[in-house]
A and B are shown apart, each in its own frame.
Chain A
Amino acid sequence: QQQVKQSPQSLIVQKGGISIINCAYENTAFDYFPWYQQFPGKGPALLIAIRPDVSEKKEGRFTISFNKSAKQFSLHIMDSQPGDSATYFCAAAVASGGSYIPTFGRGTSLIVHP
């Protein structure tokens, strides 16, 4: 059973456009929702994260929107740039043993054309 569903699997956007990646979860115990960015040949790195007590978090061109009642959250990349081309993973986590262990979505491959 896939606990975190991510869509689309791939996304192509023109430079300057908006990239939107969506995720949905089932487990209402999740209380931490990070997004990771991965460039080819590299490990994933934390991009931005949100907790369910807020509906939106913005860091530069990257915004997470969170809908607790619908159990959905999304990543918006404004003014997308070719350097944003990467694989993006959403994740959801619940504290276990005092630490968070994220469950990842299947990833979205983003290509931004110049």
Chain B
Amino acid sequence: DAEITQSPRHKITETGRQVTLACHQTWNHNNMFWYRQDLGHGLRLIHYSYGVQDTNKGEVSDGYSVSRSNTEDLPLTLESAASSQTSVYFCASSEAGGRTGELFFGEGSRLTVL
């Protein structure tokens, strides 16, 4: 079955360190997204991509970057982790031009920045 996987599922890091969260999907979807989930804020869009070599900023992109070198992967990098970036991060994908716009989410990566 097609799926979307995130790794690591849990990570603790220190302020100022670079962190990369991996996202891999086997749906062959062109669209991929990164959201962060915080209590009281719901899901907020960080970055998204419509396809290889395409990346776009979302609502809360400061301090984050992504790159898309193939269809399957969209890694999220925190260049210099800050305590405000402690959160649960969700990767998602969707079919390009899909009429339903349904997003398929991974199970999340919980990041703690000390």
Contact = CB atoms under 8 A, between A and B. Distances in A.
A101 interface: yes
B8 to A, nearest CB: 15
Task: For chain A, give the interface size range.
Answer: 20 to 34
B78 to A, nearest CB: 20
Interface residues of B, number: 28
B94 A99 contact: yes
Nearest to B100: A49
Interface in A55-114: 89, 93, 95, 97-107
B107 A99 contact: no
A34 B59 CA distance: 19
Contacts of B107: 41-43
A32 interface: yes
Nearest to B35: A104
B6 to A, nearest CB: 8
Nearest to B43: A104
A50 to B, nearest CB: 11
B48 to A, nearest CB: 6
B42 A104 contact: yes
Contact of B90 (A44, A103, A105): A44
Contacts of B101: 32, 34, 49, 93, 95, 99-100, 102
A42 B58 CA distance: 22
Interface string B28-46: 0011010100001111110
Contacts of B94: 99-100
B111 to A, nearest CB: 15
Given A89-B43, A101-B33, A106-B41, A43 B96 contact: no
A102 B103 contact: yes
A54 interface: no
9 contacts: A34-B101, A43-B90, A46-B103, A99-B31, A99-B98, A102-B103, A103-B59, A104-B44, A107-B42
